[in-house]
Amino acid sequence: MKAPLLASWKFDEGKGKHVREQVSGEEHYINYVFNEAKYKPNSDPVWRKGLEGSSLLFDGYSTWVESEGWKSDSFPEQAFTVAAWIAARSFESGNEKRLTAVINQHHREEMRGFILGHYRHGECSFQVGTGEKWLEVWSGDEVIPAGEWAMVAGTFDSEACKLNLFINGTKVAEKSLTAGSRLVLSDQPLWIGKNNQALMINEAVALHMFSGLIDEVTVYKRALSDQEVLDIYESRIDQNDGSLPEANVAMDRSRLADDPHRPGYHFLPPEHWMNEPHAPLYFEGKYHLFYQANPRGPFWHNIHWGHMVSEDLVHWHDLPMALMPEKGAVDPDGDWSGSAVVDDDGIPVLFITAGDDSVFPPTRTAIARSTFPEDGDRDLKCWQKHPEVVTVQEEGLKARTGGIFYGQFRDPFVWKEGNRWIQIIGSGIKEGDRYVGGTALMYSSNDLERWTYEGSFMEGDYAKYPKTGHVWELPVFLPLGRDSSGKEKHVFLINPWYDYPHPDNIKYVWYWIGSWDAESLTFAPDHEEPRLTDVGEHFTGPSGMVDPKGRSLVFSIAQGKRLPMHEYEAGWAHNGGIPVELGLHEDDSLMVRPIEEMALLRKEQLFSLEETTNAATVNEQLKNVQGDMLEINLEVESDQASAVGMVLRHTDDHDEETILYYDHSEKRFEINREKSSLDEEVINGIEGGEVEINSSTVKLHIFLDRSMIEVYLDERIGLTSRVYPTRREATGLSIWANKALEDVSVHKLRIWSMNSAYS
């Protein structure tokens, strides 16, 4: 007997902002952030190929269907069935054990309504409220895989006194009901893809929203039998010749391509949120770079490892998520930053900060090996996690200046030193309530799996240098070559972290140059006072590698510094900085310069000046040179003006403009963003720092990439910043000085437009 339908959504529209409920014929609105976009032209929700016809892609944070015409008085209270086909892109962490909703109309605390959905790691659940009890049935170890079609269903049967849960036609769990149990609906709307009682974070984002594809959602007026549920599943399999179609849950960077603030040639994920890129790796002719990612939306949560690959470090290709939290594995609560090596057998190995909230400290280091030897995939899409963590912070560890801050242990950086492997891990030193300073803990190993604690690598002095933080994150250690006296030098970089809200909590990257003794495993810095690699407030999260050319390369995260609601409305947050090469100048100071491969992104030379010309004349020539994706080489000098530089992203009337300059009198390298945006909610102001150069000529290497401004002064220091102009015509360029431009000499100016890094 065919079961009577109460409601059915086929999702076969394939376009538009509405989905039709088949029984009533009503059109239900699809909520989606870009239906009325703020930063880009409007665009419809994303439709993809479904089981038959189309399905709707739920982006994980802004997409849901609301049934305004829901008739609660027609809902059967004694028995019903809810079923849906889903292909989840990822699974969230499940705060307060609330479900990611597939379909729901519930209020858990009032014990009313129902919800069908999934939980962390793919566990599924069906839950029903009787007004007096809240009933839950869970799939336990039976989980749905990410990225594949699965049918989930729940039945409520008061006559049989059963609450049942099915995955792919098979009953995976049941719960006995009290005789006479009745569903009592809540006063909430019926939503597909959004939890009625979602937790809010950042005052902008609702958690527990579905991420992936949904197709064929049905509500039946009675409880289907076990065989009927199986028949529905098998009939779909039969229609597809014994298998299910591929589920395309991949992110699509074209969804955001027309955002005027979104960088085009910097490293960034296809959409949503990223933090630091890390674990750079060269293997079989390709560079791999991973990054902290949340595939569920543009906000910090639910950390995975994103993955991209390149043949030249500047043109990038998106790959599937490399790592995600897994039930029963070393990382059930997150995959945090780490590094990568190729082991002694030639197999790529990832070092992970593995999150597990069931233990303390909740972060340990773990490894995952590439399956390349078995599958031959040079893109390294598949990784096999080692079943046990490899490094655990032991209580009571000591450093030279005090006890190790127990519970602060993350971000392994690993390299080969002779016949042994060295691992340094970010931590801190704390004596009672006193924060002594940050540190990196050092371990050694012969096989990457068994590690011996060797003591602290280096120790900070928080009292003297508070901007270096209570704890050091993301330690990176790289060779710099020989100094002017012939001694081998290395550089040690860290990111500060504070144990509580702190006025110095700006994520600058600090470094020390020094000498490394590989036999005694000691690093002796040449200078006590830490130094900056970048004086902007947007350069943070270092990672590094020595590439096949022998260069020491550093990768970074360029923070967006936007309000959470702005990131919600944009659909993305943050991007990577340009890869930079570190070395030594003739005076033994640190060289910081963009990699030479950036020239491969040049599209067209827009301007070239090779003979010295006064700035007023140059500005006349620049009136027809504009752009928001540019590379600029500028050498400028003035005997009269103390500060010289360039105006970027200015309108003709200069109502919006950004001024970049070096001030000789103050020895300051700064960017003035006080007029960068007419949007009053955008964070503007002046940022920069004290920098001394030994020449009257200011040499600036500028990379302008829409909202990104990344500048390198004399190959000695960077300044990374953000601007968000409101006017599309804010693309002008001009030389700037704090005195008459006729007295300012431009020795060289070259400008190129830039291609996208993504094909």
Q: What token pair was written down for 609? A: 């000046």
CATH code 2.60.120.560 region(s) in the chain: 597-754
State the residue for tokens 């042994």: 420
Q: Compute the average pLDDT of residues 237-245.
A: 89
| pLDDT for position 639 | 79
CA-wise closest residue to 429 among 394, 455, 459 = 459
Mean pLDDT of 643-666: 97
Which one has a higher pLDDT value, 634 or 75?
634
Angle at 673 between CA 668 and CA 676, to 5 degrees: 155
**d(Cα 281, Cα 340) in Å, to the nearest integer?**
6
| pLDDT value at residue 502 | 83
Q: Mean pLDDT score of the chain, rounded to an integer?
A: 95
The span from the CA of 297 to the CA of 512, in Å, is: 36
- Please state, as a whole number, how many other Cβ atoms lie within 10 Å of the Cβ of residue 282: 18
User: What is the DSSP pairing of strand 18-20 with strand 27-31?
Assistant: antiparallel
Q: How high is the pLDDT of residue 2?
A: 74
Is the model's pLDDT at 297 over the cut of 70? yes
Per-residue DSSP letter, 623: G
Q: Which residue has the higher pLDDT, 641 or 175?
A: 175
pLDDT tens digit string along 339-354? 999 999 999 999 999 9
Spatial CA neighbour of 12 closest among 66, 55, 64, 51 = 55
Strand partners, 369: 349, 384
- The residue length of the chain stands at 759
Q: Amino acid identity of 527?
A: H
- CB < 8 Å & 24+ apart, contacts of 173-179: 173/137, 173/138, 173/139, 173/140, 173/142, 174/137, 175/135, 175/136, 175/137, 177/135, 178/133
Residues forming CATH 2.60.120.200 domain(s) in the chain: 5-239
Average pLDDT over residues 186-198: 95
The predicted structure's pLDDT at residue 69:
63
The predicted-structure confidence for 121-163, as pLDDT tens digits, reads as follows: 999 999 999 999 999 999 999 999 999 999 999 999 999 999 9
Sign of CA dihedral 303, 92, 109, 176: negative
pLDDT of residue 70: 67
Mean pLDDT of 69-85: 85
CATH (residue range 5-239) = 2.60.120.200
CATH superfamily to which 276-594 belongs: Glycosyl hydrolase domain; family 43 (2.115.10.20)
User: Average pLDDT for residues 31-42, to the nearest whole number?
Assistant: 97
pLDDT band, residue 82 (cuts 50/70/90): very high
Provide CATH 2.115.10.20 ranges for the chain: 276-594
- Which tens digits make up the pLDDT trace of 268-284? 999 999 999 999 999 99
List pLDDT tens digits, range 457-470.
Answer: 999 999 999 999 99
pLDDT of residue 1: 56
Q: What is the pTM of this model?
A: 0.96
- What 3-state DSSP class applies to 574? coil
Radius of gyration in angstroms for the set of CA atoms belonging to the chain, rounded to a whole number:
29
Residue 641 confidence (pLDDT)? 82
CATH of domain 597-754: 2.60.120.560
Q: What is the token pair recorded at 245? A: 């179609």
Question: How confident is the model at residue 595, as a pLDDT?
Answer: 98
